[in-house]
Structures are given as C-alpha cells and as structure tokens.
C-alpha cells in the first residue's frame, strides 16, 4: 500500500472513533431534547378557564372575584352554543321517526365532543369522575377537541394494497339544512371567549397531588416517594459501603477470603436489576417480613443492595487516592491506625466518597425494576414519614412506566408523563452533575 | 536501665563504634549529651527474603546530630524508618537482632508502636502537611494524645512553631490551609508538627531533597537550633549537607554500615577505602 | 535538661507497656478487625442469599414441570388451563435483543474508547467523559419512555425511509473506502508508475459504479419495508445499545490505557501510522480487557428490564424468519416484571415459581459472564506486568 492510502485509512479510522463519540453525544441530545421541551409544557402552558376553575375548586387557589368575572364572561359565550343545541334538540323531536334516528347518533357525537371541550352541559347531573367535571384545561388539548367537534374521522379503504388512510369529514356538512349547522362556525370563532386561554405557569405540577389518577394535578407523591426510596437506600448502603471499603483498603490482606469477597462484590454489581426485585420480594417481604406487603422500607433495602457495590468501589478508589504521605505523617506523630483512618484518611477521601455516594443516590432514584415488587404502587397519595415502614409509595420511575404503558388514557396525559420523566431526569442528572463538579474540584485541590 | 559510653560493650565490628566525641572547634560539646540513645545490635532488616540492612551495630548518641549517607538503595532510609517502626506498613518487612531505645527493644514483645512513635518523631522527604489549617496540623498530635484545652493547645502551637522558626511567618494566618504555604514553610511546619508531640528523637528522611537552596538553608539552620535539645538523625544524599549539619556520620553501602565516625573525622580521614571512594565522588 | 538523670528511667519505658495491656490491645484490635471483616463480608452474604432465595423459589417450578418444557417449547400460556410454560421464545427474545444491541454497541463503543484513549487530546477528553457519564446516568425508564413514545411511532410511520437513510449514511463511507483500498491493492503488481495510476483510476471508477448501484438497490429495498409495529426488537436493540455503550467505552478505555506508552512509541518509531499502531499493536495487547468490556456491556443489555418491557412489544414468539428484527419479541426480564403482578396473588403456583426460574437463569448467566470477565481482566493485568 502506498503512503496516501495508509494515511487515508488512518484518517478514516480517526473519523470512525470521533463519529462514534459524536453519535453518542447526539443520542444524548435526541433523548434529552424532547423530554426537556415536552416536559416543560407540564409546568408552562396555555391554561384555559377550566384549569383555573379546577385549581380554585380543588386547591382553593386563585383570585375568586376575578375567576367569577371570567366564568361569567365565558358562560356568556357558551350560552349561545348551548342554546343552539337546545334548539336542535327541540327540532329533532319534531322530525320523523326515521330522520330522528339518523340524526340522533350524529348529534350524540356532537354533544359528547362539546362535553369533552367545555365540560358538562349546564343543568345536567355532575359526573362522578373529576376528568368529566371539567372541560379542556389546556389550550393545546382544547384545539384537538375542537377539531374533533368540527370534523368526523373517516377511513379510506379504497386501495386494498396499502394501509387504510384516515381523512376528515366536516360535521357541519352532515347537519346541512338544520339549525345545528350554525353551531360549528360559532364555536370555531368563539372558542377563545369560551375558554379564555392565557399563559399559565403551574408550579403546582411539582408540589400538588394528582387528581383523578393524573388526569389533573401534580406529581408530588411520586417525587416524594422517589426521595424516600433513594435516601432510604443510602441510609443503609452508604455507611455499610464505606466501612467495607475501609476494610478492603486498610485491613484486608491478600488471601483466599478477600479475593472471594472482591469477587462477591463484582458479582453483586453484575446482577440484573430485576433479580434484585425478585430477591427483595422473596427475602425482605416473604421471609423476613419487614412489612406485610410492599413498603418503602423493603424497597429501600432492595435498592441499598443494588447500589452497595458502586459505593464500595468508589469509596475504595477515593481512599486509595489519598496520598501515602498523609498516612505516614499521622502514624509518625503517634497516631494509632484506626485514629489515622478516622481523622486523616477519611476526611481527605470524603469528597471522593461523596462523589460515589451522590452517583449511587441518582441510580437508586432512577431504578425501576427492583421496586416493582417491593415498594411501588401506581396510584396513591403522598405518605407520611411514619408510614415508610408499612406502606408502599408511588415513585417517579414506576409511575412513568405505569402512566405510559398501563394508564387507560395514556395518550391523553403525555404531558404528565413527559413532566415526570423531566423531573426524574433532572433529579438524576443534577446529582450526577454535582458529582462531576465535586470531582473536578478534588482534582484541582490535589494539583495544589 | 542506664548505659553510658564507657559501659557499652564493644561491638563486634570495631570500626562502627564511636568511642570518643571528636568535634571541630566551632561545634560545642553538649552537656548531658553523648549517651547512647539508640543502640543497634546485630540489627538486620529484611524485605521478604532480601536482607536490606545487614547486621548493623551502632550507638546513636543523645542530643547530637547523626547523618546517614550512602548511595541510593544502600538501606539508609530503610534503617531510619525502622527506628520508629514505619516499616510496619510494609507487610513483608521484618527484623532480626535488636534495636534498643533507652535500653528497651523497639521490636520487643511489649512495645507499643504508637507510644514509640510519639517518642521518635519523623519528617519525610516530601513535605506532607495534612489538608487542614496550620493550627490543626500542629494541634493534631497533641489532640491525639489527649490535650483538649484550647489555651494549652495555643501554647503548644506557638512554642512548636517558634522552635521550627516558622512562627513569625505564619502567626497571623494560623487558620489558613497549610497547603497554601511554600514548600520550605511546609517542611518546617512538618518539623513543628513533629515537635508538638515532644519527641526525644527526631528522624529526618532527606528533608531538603524537595526544596530549593534557600529553603534548604533554613532547614539546616533549624537543625542547628534543635541540636542539643533532641537527638537528631538525618538521612541525606548530599555530603556537603552531612558535613555542615552533623556531628556524626554513618556511611551505608549495600545494607552494610561501613563506617560510623565523628563527621569531622569521617570526611577528612576516612578509615575505610570504600568511604573514601564515596566521599571523593569515585562512585555514587 | 533531662540528661542521664533518674528521669530517664521513667522515660525509657515510655513505649513499653505491660503484658496485660499489650494483650488487651491485641484483643481490641482483633475485635475491631473482625467487626470490620464481618461488615465487609455482608456483601458476600448478600450474594449467597440472592442465589439461595431466588433458587428456593425457582426449584418448585422445575419440580412441578420438569426442565424440558421450559427450555424447548415456545408456547407461553401461563394463565391457560392447563398452563403451558414453554420459555424458549422468551429466552430467544432476550438473546435476540442482546445480540442486536451488541452488534451496534460493540463497534461503536470500542472505536469510541480508542478515540478517547489514543486520539483525542486530554483537554477535549474532559468534556467528552461527562457525555458518557450522563448517558450512563439516564434512568432506564426514561430510555424506555423515549423508545415507546418517540422512537416507536417514528419507526412505525417512517420505518422504510429511516432504514434507507441509515443504510446510506453508514454504508457509503465504508464502501468508498473499500473501493479505494481494493483498487490500490489490485494494482500494486504493476511496475510502471503512470500505467499503474491509470489502471487504478479505472478500477476506482468501475468499483465505484458497482458499489453505487449496490447502495442504491439495497436502499430502495429497505425503503419499501413497512414496519408494522414500532415496538419491536430493532427499537429495543437501538436503545439497549446506547445503554450498554458507557460500560463498554469506559472499561475498554481502561484496558487500552493499561497498554503502556512504550509499546506505542516503539510502533511509531518504526514508521507506523496511528491506525496501524492501534490495530496491530494496541488492540491485540488490550484484546482481553476489551473482551471483558464487551461481556459487561452485553450483560447490561441482557439484564435491562424497563426498556424491553415498554418497547419490545411483549409478544412471546420466535420471529419469522428468525433474524427478523422488525417483529415484536418478549424477554426474560420483561416477563418477570410483567407477569409477577398477576402471579403473586397465587403464591405457590407454578406460575409464580416460573418467574423465579427465569430470574435464576439470568442470575446464573450473569454470574458466569462476570466470572469470565474478571478472570480475563486478571490475566491481562498479569500479561502486561510481564509475569
């Protein structure tokens, strides 16, 4: 091969490596960007009058007089629409039986679309579920509902070779010649006045409890559950891990037992997380009976086992990176070994140990599989600190799965799911970021 | 148990015994000094199978400065570090023979190495202050040994820093991190830290090898100041330094103590051919 | 001054303590050390407990149903009457997504590790490492959510074009490179310089045209593929590969760094390019460490639960044909997570214990691969230190 080709190969090789790293960076962006941009919409969005009503009714938040004024304003706009509907109902009663039946079904669709958009029709009985008590609280959703009111979805099966395509049919067209036909242009042009959208910053998304299984409200119970589980896991794993690391670095002598212990540590690090969940169920709940069924305590213990190897490893590294001279200096001043460890080595290694601890905390907060069988429930309110020994808790990681995969209206509450993912990712990445900063400061300090 | 220079039994290898204290005119004789403070008797140090220091017989006289010289790898540091049992940190290290400190075996069955190290302080090659404040560095030792009272600690810190000739430079920033000091100041801080636990013997393991000439001069001055109050042993690879600061010099070669004599004598009229070759720079 | 006065007598024994005190010290130290040892041994005890408790609940399944059905049948109907527990399709699903993710993650991870250890200057590396760490830190459920809500609809709606563009982007540079290298190699035997250049150019043109056609037709074929469901093995493999990447990168980088400077310098001094040095000298020297990295990365994919549970489609069948990554699959981890909810109400039935059997299978696989990778790392360290 001549030199040119060799150099070309060399450059391509470099490009391959750089490309891989760039792809990794892009993947990080591709995953984080939608989570960030959509997650924000859980907090900041155009809220309608229905959102403000909900906040006032459920949490007594907002200015009552102003709210009443706005309700009056929107009701004024809505009244006309309801009047049109009432007029059409009256008209239908006068129709022939056959014609009546033909319109009834279509009219029911219109009525339910109106209910979905604006909430229950005044004068009707209030429904049981909160989600049916209010119209659309978010303007973006309201626009979708408006579209459903104005157009009917139809499927095009004309070409059997390709998948059926959907297309829209105007509802107004199917009510041609009746009084209802005026309703559609009226609602379309007056929807602003009916819903009065305004930009809303809803911090309550973080601090409120959920209402009607996350249809409305916030995610505080999940955030709190995540904090309880992660901190609980640290309470068990951190002291244990640091002490074990002290043993491994300062006391362990080369030998069969210690290589066995080290192997055990790396085996533990490699156990699949779902197996921790199985173990937690079989050991902590079914055998030790730390609680009757799932509980925060059982979940924390399971997570603690999972993060233990990480803590041990990072603490070991931190202790080993303490300069040997500190140890010598302390010993030469007549300090005992244990004293040296406690007063010199551990303080010097503390930032490194904390770095590992913080990263493990993030891992415990983000992990799902171990808590499925041991601690997590899908619906529930925030639990008190006293209940951690006996009750399960909702947690961000589990509820993201649950809302995205098992909720009956999963696609309706994407914003809540995104908001939860954002909250979880923020917690975890903040912890990691602080670990990275902490480590940078250590290396600076060691350089002098 | 008392030992005087006369009472000591003659070591087997005669040339390593220091019988008379021969001092050049500019060095004063120290009253109350000159008693064998440390005595090595057939003292050997092994790393596993390897004999790093071979059957040393020597008396280190109290209150005087003894320098240990020799080419690198000759066992001089190993010997020094074995005196306050710092070699215990190396698991494969063990000793034979006896090393007597005030007549008691350092490696005896009933020796508490923690108490021993309190009596025999050590300063290392590289300045190694703890990443704490200057005050806490000095107070570390006394606190370990039970001094809690702040006033007493203040006193100890000041005296130690004064003894180490560092007080004037740092008295207004005792609460600052010790790592902010210059290398020479750090090394004097380490000396002060060692003095704070009131040792009897001070071991200096190449204390100036990481310092610039000015800082080195200050450390050497400090050694002169401390001479007479402490028994000082200093390992150095710098023969000029040995001749400047010490009263006695031990020359090690390949683990063997070749010659042990008053410094003025060893550098002018070495008895051993090997010593002569070394100090005249024929090998190093 | 405290010279050789009686004060010395008191002083001399200052470091000598009574036999009793010495004994007491020894006992205290022994007690302290054994306490520490016991605490450190908790780790080993936990590992034993995990094996014991998972196996304890797994054994009843094999007692009731035997081994052969679990490992050889593909029909998984645990809720039927009579239930059927053929887990082969599920095991196959696990292997399939693991292999798929390894296929993506191993080349990327190893080349990224090489880049980090040998190409990128240190100052840039400081900024690249946090990217990898962040990738490792993102919770698996967030990846799963991404796979389910963003990637799956994308694949389902634009699967064909996505596959085509990926093919173009990845294949074209490699083919171009291959064309140049092959034409060069074929023409080396010609002695005359100018003639050789002409031949070479002709060869490049011919091969270039051929490979362009190849690229185009394969791309066209790919574009026509309709992906019926976005929650399939391909989706999961892509996401899993990005979850395995940080492990592979950091462990291989350690292995590469362990190869000393002198080997590199020796090769450069002989006139080798960086790529040649890496491929011929460094990779062989670090190969066992990289193998360990790959094993650890694969284990991460095999043990991952949330992504596969959310985005694999959870359909327990062997795809048709067996390498069809565009079909839904089901994995061991997802089955454990998904079926426990229904099974644990009837604790004691085979349906409950079969999940533990799957857990035991995962546990044994992870134990073995961990053991192997550890052996490999130890051996590499020995080889490099020249023993």
Find, among B138, B155, B164, B144, the residue nearest to B229 by Cα.
B164
**A265 touches C: beta carbon within 8 Å:** yes
- How does pLDDT run across C185-209, given as a tens digit for each residue? 888 888 888 888 888 889 999 999 9
The helix or strand, by DSSP H or E, that contains position A216, with its residue range, turns out to be strand A216-217
Give the distance from residue C82's alpha carbon to the nearest chain A alpha carbon, in angstroms.
Answer: 25
The domain in which residue A153 lies consists of 48-201
In this structure, is residue A418 part of a structural domain? yes
Residues A269 and A380 in one domain: yes
Closest-CA residue of B relative to C10 is: B1
Residues A285 and A247 in one domain: yes
Query: What total of structural domains would you count in chain A?
Result: 2
**A18 touches C: beta carbon within 8 Å:** yes
> Which residue shows structure tokens 């005196």?
B83
The reply to whether residue A21 touches residue C128, judged by beta carbons under 8 angstroms, is yes
The reply to whether residue B111 touches residue C14, judged by beta carbons under 8 angstroms, is no
Residues A314 and A394 in one domain: yes
Chains in contact with C, where contact requires at least 3 CB pairs less than 8 Å apart: A, B
Are B195 and B135 a contacting pair, CB within 8 Å? no
Give the distance from residue B33's alpha carbon to the nearest chain C alpha carbon, in angstroms.
Answer: 7
- d(C-alpha C277, C-alpha C267), whole Å: 6
- How does pLDDT run across C102-129, given as a tens digit for each residue? 999 999 999 999 999 888 888 888 888 8
The reply to whether residue A263 touches residue C302, judged by beta carbons under 8 angstroms, is no
Least reliable range by pLDDT among A13-27, B203-217, C45-59, C74-88: C74-88
Give the distance from residue C245's alpha carbon to the nearest chain A alpha carbon, in angstroms.
Answer: 8
- d(C-alpha C77, C-alpha C81), whole Å: 9
Among the candidates A170, A201, A232, a domain finishes at A201
Residues A186 and A298 in one domain: no
pLDDT tens series, chain A, 448 aa: 677 788 888 888 889 999 999 999 999 999 999 999 999 999 999 999 999 999 998 888 888 999 999 999 999 999 989 998 888 888 888 888 888 888 888 888 888 888 888 888 887 888 888 888 888 999 999 999 999 888 888 887 777 777 677 888 888 888 888 888 888 989 989 999 889 999 999 988 998 888 888 888 889 999 999 999 999 999 999 999 999 999 999 888 877 888 888 889 989 999 999 999 999 999 999 888 888 888 999 999 999 999 999 999 999 999 998 888 888 899 988 888 888 999 899 988 988 899 999 999 999 999 999 999 999 888 777 788 888 888 889 999 999 999 998 888 888 889 999 999 999 999 999 999 998 888 888 777 665 4
Strand positions, DSSP E, A38-122: 44-47
Suggest the residue from B117, B142, B145, B206 to mutate for an interface test with chain A (most A CBs closer than 10 A): B117
Region C247-273 average pLDDT? 86
The sign one gets for the Cα dihedral C65, C67, C70, C74 is negative
Burial degree of B248 (CB within 10 A; 0-12, 13-18, 19+): buried
**A327 touches B: beta carbon within 8 Å:** yes
Are A259 and A354 a contacting pair, CB within 8 Å? no
From chain A, pick out residues whose CB is under 8 angstroms from the CB of C278: 13
Chains in contact with A, where contact requires at least 3 CB pairs less than 8 Å apart: B, C
The reply to whether residue C18 touches residue B110, judged by beta carbons under 8 angstroms, is yes
Residues A284 and A169 in one domain: no
- d(C-alpha A160, C-alpha A286), whole Å: 56
- d(C-alpha C147, C-alpha C153), whole Å: 9
Q: Taking the CB of residue A65, how many other CB atoms lie within 10 A of it?
A: 7
Task: Tell me B260's DSSP state.
Answer: E
What pTM was estimated for this model as a whole?
0.87
In this structure, is residue A9 part of a structural domain? no
| Residue A265, token pair as written in the block | 């540590």
Pairing mode of beta strands B65-69, A216-217? unpaired
ipTM: 0.91
Structural domains in chain C, sorted by start: 65-386 (1.10.3720.10)
Find, among C317, C377, C353, C385, the residue nearest to C93 by Cα.
C317
> B133 forms bridges with which residues in the sheet?
B177
- d(C-alpha C269, C-alpha C262), whole Å: 10
Please state, for a pLDDT cut of 90, what percent of chain A lies above it: 42
In this structure, is residue A305 part of a structural domain? yes
In this structure, is residue A15 part of a structural domain? no
Give the distance from residue A11's alpha carbon to the nearest chain C alpha carbon, in angstroms.
Answer: 8
- How does pLDDT run across A87-125, given as a tens digit for each residue? 888 888 888 888 888 888 888 888 888 888 888 888 788
Q: Taking the CB of residue C323, how many other CB atoms lie within 10 A of it?
A: 10
Closest-CA residue of B relative to A337 is: B114
Report the pLDDT value the prediction gives residue B12, as an integer from 0 to 100: 42
- d(C-alpha A132, C-alpha A50), whole Å: 11
Q: Taking the CB of residue A182, how many other CB atoms lie within 10 A of it?
A: 16
Q: Which runs of consecutive H residues, i.e. helices, occur in B19-66?
A: none
| Residue C375, token pair as written in the block | 């052996």
In this structure, is residue A141 part of a structural domain? yes
Give the distance from residue C120's alpha carbon to the nearest chain A alpha carbon, in angstroms.
Answer: 8
Report the pLDDT value the prediction gives residue C25, as an integer from 0 to 100: 86
Write out residues 333-392 of A within 8 Å (CB-CB) of C: 338, 359, 362-363, 365-369, 372-373
In this structure, is residue A36 part of a structural domain? no
In this structure, is residue A325 part of a structural domain? yes
In this structure, is residue A28 part of a structural domain? no
**A336 touches B: beta carbon within 8 Å:** yes
Pairing mode of beta strands B93-101, B201-205? unpaired
**C14 touches B: beta carbon within 8 Å:** yes
The reply to whether residue A334 touches residue B144, judged by beta carbons under 8 angstroms, is yes
Which candidate from C53, C146, C149 shows the least CB-CB separation from A279?
A: C53
Residues A227 and A110 in one domain: no
Find, among B129, B148, B150, B137, the residue nearest to B196 by Cα.
B137
| Residue B197, token pair as written in the block | 């636990």
What SS3 state is found at C43? helix
Write out residues 94-133 of A within 8 Å (CB-CB) of C: none
Closest-CA residue of C relative to B102 is: C12
Residues A146 and A228 in one domain: no
Chains in contact with B, where contact requires at least 3 CB pairs less than 8 Å apart: A, C
Residues A250 and A185 in one domain: no
Among the candidates A174, A201, A228, a domain finishes at A201
The reply to whether residue A282 touches residue C54, judged by beta carbons under 8 angstroms, is yes
Closest-CA residue of C relative to A11 is: C275
Q: At B11, is the pLDDT very low, low, confident or very high (cuts 50, 70, 90)?
A: very low
Instruction: Please tell me the number of Cα atoms within 13 Å of C300 on its side-chain side.
Output: 25
Are C152 and C235 a contacting pair, CB within 8 Å? yes
Report the pLDDT value the prediction gives residue B15, as an integer from 0 to 100: 41
CA–centroid distance for C98 within its chain: 9
Largest alpha-carbon pair distance within chain B?
56
Report the pLDDT value the prediction gives residue A199, as an integer from 0 to 100: 93
Burial degree of A21 (CB within 10 A; 0-12, 13-18, 19+): buried
**A243 touches C: beta carbon within 8 Å:** yes
> B95 forms bridges with which residues in the sheet?
B45
* Domain CATH for A403: 1.10.3720.10
Residues A163 and A240 in one domain: no
Q: At C343, is the pLDDT very low, low, confident or very high (cuts 50, 70, 90)?
A: low
Closest-CA residue of C relative to B105 is: C16
Residues A91 and A177 in one domain: yes
Suggest the residue from A278, A340, A361 to mutate for an interface test with chain C (most C CBs closer than 10 A): A278
The reply to whether residue B86 touches residue A331, judged by beta carbons under 8 angstroms, is yes
Among the candidates A201, A236, A268, a domain finishes at A201
Closest-CA residue of A relative to B114 is: A334
Q: What share of chain A is helix, strand, coil (3-state, %, to 5)?
A: 75, 5, 20
Report the pLDDT value the prediction gives residue B194, as an integer from 0 to 100: 92
pLDDT of residue B10 exceeding 60, the answer is: no
- d(C-alpha B201, C-alpha B83), whole Å: 10
Instruction: Name B88's Cβ contacts closer than 8 Å, sequence gap at least 6.
Output: B113
Q: DSSP for A275-332?
A: HHHHHIIIIIITTS-SSSS--HHHHHHHHHHHHHHHHHHHHHHHHHTS-HHHHHHHHH
**A273 touches C: beta carbon within 8 Å:** yes
Residues A188 and A238 in one domain: no
Residues A266 and A382 in one domain: yes
Q: At B9, is the pLDDT very low, low, confident or very high (cuts 50, 70, 90)?
A: very low
């Amino acid at each position: 091969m001549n030199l040119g080709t060799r150099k070309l190969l060399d450059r391509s090789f470099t490009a391959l490596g750089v490309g891989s790293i760039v792809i990794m960076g892009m993947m990080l962006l591709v995953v984080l960007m939608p989570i960030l941009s959509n997650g924000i919409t859980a907090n900041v969005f155009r809220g309608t009058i229905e959102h403000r009503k909900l906040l006032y009714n459920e949490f007594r938040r907002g200015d009552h007089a102003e709210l009443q004024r706005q309700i009056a304003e929107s009701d004024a706009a809505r009244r006309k629409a309801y009047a049109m509907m009432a007029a059409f109902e009256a008209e239908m009663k006068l129709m022939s039986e056959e014609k009546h039946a033909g319109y009834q079904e279509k009219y029911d669709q219109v009525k339910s679309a109106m209910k979905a958009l604006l909430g229950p029709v005044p004068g009707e009985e209030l429904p049981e579920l909160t989600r049916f008590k209010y119209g659309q609280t978010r303007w973006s959703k309201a626009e979708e509902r408006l579209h459903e009111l104005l157009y009917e979805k139809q499927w095009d099966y004309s070409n059997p070779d390709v998948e059926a395509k959907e297309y829209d049919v105007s509802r107004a067209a199917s009510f041609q010649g009746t009084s209802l036909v005026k309703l559609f242009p009226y609602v379309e042009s007056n929807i602003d006045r009916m819903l009065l959208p305004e930009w809303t910053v809803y911090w309550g998304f973080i601090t409120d409890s959920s209402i009607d299984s996350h249809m409305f409200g916030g995610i505080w119970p999940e955030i709190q559950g995540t904090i309880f589980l992660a901190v609980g896991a640290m309470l068990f794993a951190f002291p244990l891990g640091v002490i074990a690391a002290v043993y491994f670095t300062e006391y362990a002598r080369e030998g069969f037992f210690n290589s066995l212990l080290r192997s055990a540590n790396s085996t533990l690090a490699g156990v699949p997380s779902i197996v921790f969940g199985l173990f937690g169920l079989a050991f902590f709940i079914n055998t030790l009976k730390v609680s009757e069924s799932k509980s925060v305590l059982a979940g924390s213990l399971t997570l603690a086992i999972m993060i233990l190897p990480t803590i041990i490893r990072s603490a070991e590294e931190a202790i080993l990176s303490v300069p040997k001279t500190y140890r010598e200096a302390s010993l030469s001043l007549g300090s005992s070994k244990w004293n040296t460890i406690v007063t010199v080595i551990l303080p010097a290694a503390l930032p490194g140990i904390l770095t590992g601890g913080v990263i493990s905390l993030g891992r415990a907060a983000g992990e799902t599989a171990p808590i499925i069988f041991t601690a997590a429930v899908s619906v529930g309110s925030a639990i008190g600190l006293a209940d951690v020994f006996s009750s399960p808790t909702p947690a961000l990681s589990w509820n993201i799965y649950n809302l995205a995969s098992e909720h009956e209206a999963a696609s309706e509450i994407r914003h809540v799911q995104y908001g939860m993912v954002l909250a979880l990712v923020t917690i975890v990445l903040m912890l990691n970021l602080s670990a990275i900063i902490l480590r940078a400061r250590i290396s600076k300090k060691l350089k002098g | 148990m008392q030992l005087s220079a006369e009472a000591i039994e003659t070591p087997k290898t005669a040339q390593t015994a220091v019988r008379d204290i021969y001092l050049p005119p500019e060095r004063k004789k120290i009253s109350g000094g000159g008693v064998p403070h440390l005595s090595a008797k057939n003292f050997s140090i092994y790393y596993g199978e390897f004999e790093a220091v071979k059957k040393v017989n020597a008396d280190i006289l109290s209150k005087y400065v003894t320098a240990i010289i020799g080419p690198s790898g000759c066992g001089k540091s190993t010997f020094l570090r074995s005196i306050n049992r710092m070699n215990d940190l190396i698991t494969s290290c063990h000793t034979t023979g006896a090393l007597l400190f005030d007549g008691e075996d350092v490696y005896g069955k009933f020796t508490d190495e923690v108490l021993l190290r309190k009596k025999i302080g050590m300063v290392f090659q590289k300045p190694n202050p703890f990443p704490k404040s200057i005050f806490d560095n000095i107070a570390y030792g006394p606190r370990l040994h039970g001094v809690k009272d702040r006033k007493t600690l203040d006193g100890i810190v000041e005296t130690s820093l004064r003894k180490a000739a560092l007080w004037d430079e740092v008295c207004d920033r005792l609460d600052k991190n010790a790592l902010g000091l210059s290398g020479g100041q750090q090394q004097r801080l380490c000396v002060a830290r060692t003095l704070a636990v009131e040792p009897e013997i001070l071991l200096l393991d190449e204390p100036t090898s990481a310092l610039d000439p000015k800082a080195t001069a200050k450390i050497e001055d400090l050694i002169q100041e401390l001479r007479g109050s402490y028994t000082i042993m200093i390992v150095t690879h710098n023969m000029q330094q040995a001749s400047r600061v010490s009263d006695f010099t031990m020359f090690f070669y390949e683990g063997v103590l070749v010659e042990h004599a008053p410094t003025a004598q060893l550098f002018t009229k070495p008895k051993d051919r090997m010593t002569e070759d070394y100090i005249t720079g024929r090998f190093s | 001054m405290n010279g050789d006065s009686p004060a010395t007598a008191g002083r001399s024994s200052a470091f000598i303590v009574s036999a009793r005190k010495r004994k007491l010290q020894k006992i205290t130290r022994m007690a302290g050390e054994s306490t520490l040892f016991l605490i450190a041994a908790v780790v080993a005890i936990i590992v034993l407990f995990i094996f014991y408790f998972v196996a304890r609940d797994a054994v009843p399944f094999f007692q009731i149903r035997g081994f052969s059905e679990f490992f050889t049948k593909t029909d998984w109907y645990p809720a039927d009457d009579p239930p059927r527990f053929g887990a082969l399709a599920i095991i196959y699903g696990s292997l399939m997504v693991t292999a798929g993710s390894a296929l993506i993650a191993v080349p990327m991870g190893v080349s990224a590790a090489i880049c980090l250890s040998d190409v990128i200057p240190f100052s840039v590396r400081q900024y690249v490492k946090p990217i990898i760490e962040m990738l490792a830190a993102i919770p698996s459920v967030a990846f799963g959510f991404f796979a389910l809500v963003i990637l799956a609809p994308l694949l389902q709606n634009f699967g064909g074009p996505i596959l085509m563009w990926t093919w173009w982007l990845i294949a074209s540079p490699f083919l171009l490179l291959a064309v140049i290298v092959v034409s060069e190699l074929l023409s080396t035997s010609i002695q005359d310089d100018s003639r050789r250049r002409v031949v070479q150019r002709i060869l490049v043109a011919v091969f270039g045209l051929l490979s362009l056609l190849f690229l185009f037709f394969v791309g066209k074929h790919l574009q026509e593929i309709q992906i019926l469901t976005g929650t399939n093995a391909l989706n999961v493999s892509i996401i899993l590969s990005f979850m395995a990447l940080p492990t592979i990168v950091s462990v291989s980088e350690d292995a590469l760094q362990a190869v000393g400077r002198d080997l590199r310098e020796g090769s450069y001094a002989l006139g080798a390019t960086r790529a040649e040095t890496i491929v011929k000298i460094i990779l062989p020297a670090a190969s066992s460490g990289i193998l360990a990295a790959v094993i650890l990365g694969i284990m991460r994919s095999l043990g991952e639960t949330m992504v596969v549970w959310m985005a694999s489609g959870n359909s327990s069948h062997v795809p048709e044909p067996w390498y069809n990554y565009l079909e839904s699959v089901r994995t061991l981890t997802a089955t454990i997570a998904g079926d426990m909810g229904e099974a644990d109400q009837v604790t004691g039935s085979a349906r409950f214990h079969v999940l533990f059997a799957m857990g035991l299978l995962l546990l044994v696989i992870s134990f073995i691969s961990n053991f192997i990778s550890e052996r490999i790392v130890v051996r590499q360290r020995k080889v490099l230190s020249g023993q």
